[in-house]
Structures are given as C-alpha cells and as structure tokens.
Amino acid sequence: MMFDFDVFVIGAGSGGVRAARMAAGEGARVAIADDRALGGTCVNVGCVPKKLYTYASHFSHDFENAKGFGWQLGSATFDWPKLVNNKKTEISRLNDIYANLLNNSGAHIIRGYACLKDPHTVTVNGTDYTTKRIIIATGGTPNIPNVDYADLLISSDEIFDLPKFPQRLLVVGAGYIALEFACIFQGLGSQVQVSYRGDLIMRSFDDDVRRFLDQEMCKQGIDIHYQSQVTNVVRQPDQSLLVTFLDGTQTEVDQVLMAIGRKPRLTGIGLEKLGIKTTAQGTIAVSQNFQTNIDSVYALGDVTGGIELTPVALAEAMTLVNHWYGDGTKTMEYDLVPTAVFTQPNIGTIGLTEEQALKKHGKITIYRSDFKPMKHTLSGSDERSFMKLIVDAVTDRVIGLHIVGEGAGEMLQGFAVAIKAGATKADFDATIGIHPTSAEELVTMRSPS
C-alpha cells in the first residue's frame, strides 16, 4: 500500500519536532500536526518563558545585595507589561525558528488538531492523511480540578500573560512548577502564599533538599501553609478573590495559581477508537521502543508517563528514529537524569535520594555541607547553600548529588557527566577545586556527616 507519508507526528513540541526533523533527515516523508504554536509547552508556556521570568525576578534580590558592595541605587520600578511583551517577542522568534527547522528538514507542517482514524490514517481539519507510522507526542496540560470555581483559577499556561500583575498570589501545590512560580512572583514584587495539602514541599526530592529549600523560601517572605486545602474561591465586588480553606480560614488574593500537576493531552485524539492501551494514570502504555499495542502507532514524551523533561523527550525522539532508520543501538536510560529546579535558590540533583539509596544499596556514606556563599559575606543576605553527596560504601561510587544554591543547575551539568561515567568519591577527592567557587565544595568534602 502506498501511503501519503512514512511518518506522521501528532504534536509539535520538543519531542515531536525532533522526531520529525530527524526522520525527515533520514529521507522519510514526514508530516507534523499541531493546533498550537510550534515548540509545545517548553517554548511557549514552559521552560523558556519561565526561565526568562526567573531572570527578571532575580533583579530585585540583586539590587538589594548590591548595597553591601558599595552600590547606592535609586528606587527601582517594575514594568510587568514590558516583560510580558518582550517575552512574547522572543517566543515568536523561537516559533519561527522551529518552523524554519521543520521546513528545512523537509517535514510538512499541518496546522490543526490531529486525531486517529485508523492505524494508518490521521485526520486534521476534516482531511485524512495516510501514513506508515504514527507518533503521538502531544505532551501534557495543567491539571485543573473539576470544581465549581474552576473558572476563577489560572494555570501555568495563563500566568505568563496576565493583563494585570497580581500583587497578591496564592499558589496551590508544592512541586517544582508551583515553587518556581512562587519564587518568580515574590521576586517581581508579589505577596506570595503557598497552599499544600502535604507535610513538606517538593515530594520525591531528597528530604534534606526539601527542608533546606523550605527554609530559604520562608526567609524571602513566601508564606507556606502545610496541611492546607482550598475548598472555595469567590470573586468579590472589587475583583479580588476570597479563598476559603478546609480549616475555615480565608485569605484575599488577586490570583490563584493551580499547580497540582499535569496530565497527558490526549482528549479527542482517538485512542479508544484504535484500542490503544493506557495506564491507570491515563498515559499511553509503550514498549522500550516506544511502540503501543498497535504496531504502527508510537508515543513518546510526557504522554507516556515518564520523566517530564524536555531533554528526555528529545533523547527519546532520537532513540526512536535511530531504531527505525539507524543502527538501532541507541537506548534510553532513565536512572541518572540530571534535573534543575529554578527556584530561589536553585536546585540541582542527579541520582538517588538518601532514602532511595538506603533501599537500593544498604550501606551508604553521606557527605553534607551547609554554608554561606562568599557573595553573601558582603551582600547582607542570609541566603545559604547546601550540598550533599551520597556514596555507595561498597563501590565508592557517587550515586546521588544534590545542590541547593545559586547556579545549581549550571554546576550540576558537569558533575552529571562525571556521575554518568561512574565517578567515585576518590575521583571527586582527587580533583582540584576551583577557588573561590561554591562548586569546589563538592570536591573538598572529606568528613562524612
């Protein structure tokens, strides 16, 4: 049978675009469809704008810290509309770059919401396209609870483009997305509260990291409420929001950001029609080669329920294309994926938490360091940094590394290479530190804690 395309990619986010480009580069006839801006969540309402807003939020801290170094600054004012507009300009530029990359690769871009008709047919805007293989890479979408006040809540999709800056912000949730936005808006001038039904922020991260970040965020004036649950939100005559909690307490804010997780963007795509199997969590079940139970249909990225990070989706896309058109030697390994969280201060982590390491290895050695960075000996800030190494006591391999502090993500990338290569604590000890830096602490920790 002759198909219109060899590969049809549903979703033009990071993973989908990479798969389309790589497959087209191998000579395949490729189509890629999406009803949203090219680049998906990361480019449009995720990593990129979030990092730009993170940069913006740091200036208030920098202005304050500059006084200790002799700088006398006048009063600073923040222009929210200018940040929003400049961000839009940059995102538009990136959208065009993605379009050019796809066009130059030979991939055919189709604008519209794609759905499955049968194992070899995709329908977009009423037109059917036949294809040998299909990749579902539609990513995720914020999870908004089905409550009668849902229309008064905003998600991470809307928060970048609010028409008016929220002077008072309530963030519901305590994962990395929730806390990044809490720190961003605190730095930009909001009075920020965090509501979390659990006992400690950043579930699944190392407990020392979780406690340390809580401490540092509270120092900034972010008000974190544990065992807290929103039960109602009401719009008041002055347009503020009256939020009621399970314990009966109330607070008035300008916006409520719901950041309690994400779900796969699969509504109306036609999984049921083809009988594609899903997991209990609603994600698409795939093999190690990203194949669904329908031989011609594959899925990658956030829709498969794996690690929800852009570099992971990119790597999965390249692995899949290599499986089809290359030597098939590429494989995905998920056990040592470095992660950065752009809170204030940043988090960088790779490998196992202490709890995980104890369960997996039994005998471990822990090295910890909690210190004031050199910068803050003059800045007047009481911000501190924290570093932790977890070592397998039998093999001496470093199996977990955790950083909380300025530039943690930048630091971590190099150390991630070493840990991926199997570095031992002896290798760390034998490495000369760069002085004076915070990073040198990771190669100078000698006494277990």
User: CATH code at 93?
Assistant: 3.50.50.60
Query: Who's near 105: CB < 8 A, 6+ residues apart?
Result: 20, 21, 24, 25, 30
* 298 shares a domain with 437: no
Q: Does the residue 431 lie in any domain?
A: yes
Q: Does the residue 448 lie in any domain?
A: no
Tell me what pLDDT residue 385 has.
98
> Catalytic residue among 61, 108, 323, 435, which?
435
Tell me what pLDDT residue 341 has.
98
Catalytic residue at 435?
yes
Q: Is 394 exposed, middle or buried (0-12, 13-18, 19+ CB in 10 A)?
A: exposed
Report how far residue 152's alpha carbon sits from residue 149's, in angstroms, rounded to the nearest whole number.
6
* 114 shares a domain with 49: yes
* 181 shares a domain with 63: no
Domain containing 90 equals 5-142+263-325
**At what angle are helices 310-325 and 14-25 packed, to 10 degrees?**
30
Tally of domains in the chain:
3
Q: Does the residue 358 lie in any domain?
A: yes
> What tokens were used for 207?
């407990």
**Residues recorded for the chain:** 449
Q: Does the residue 449 lie in any domain?
A: no
* 136 shares a domain with 275: yes
Q: What is the DSSP string of 341-391?
A: E-SSS-EEEEE--HHHHHHHHS-EEEEEEEE--TTHHHH-----EEEEEEE
* 293 shares a domain with 189: no
Could you state, in chain order, the average pLDDT of each consecutive group of 10 residues for the chain (449 residues)?
96 98 98 97 97 98 96 94 98 98 98 98 98 98 97 98 98 98 98 98 98 97 98 98 98 98 96 97 96 98 96 98 94 96 98 98 97 96 98 98 97 98 98 97 95
User: CATH code at 409?
Assistant: 3.30.390.30
* 409 shares a domain with 311: no
Tell me what pLDDT residue 1 has.
79
From 260, 290, 308, the end of a domain falls on 260
Q: Does the residue 352 lie in any domain?
A: yes
Q: Does the residue 407 lie in any domain?
A: yes
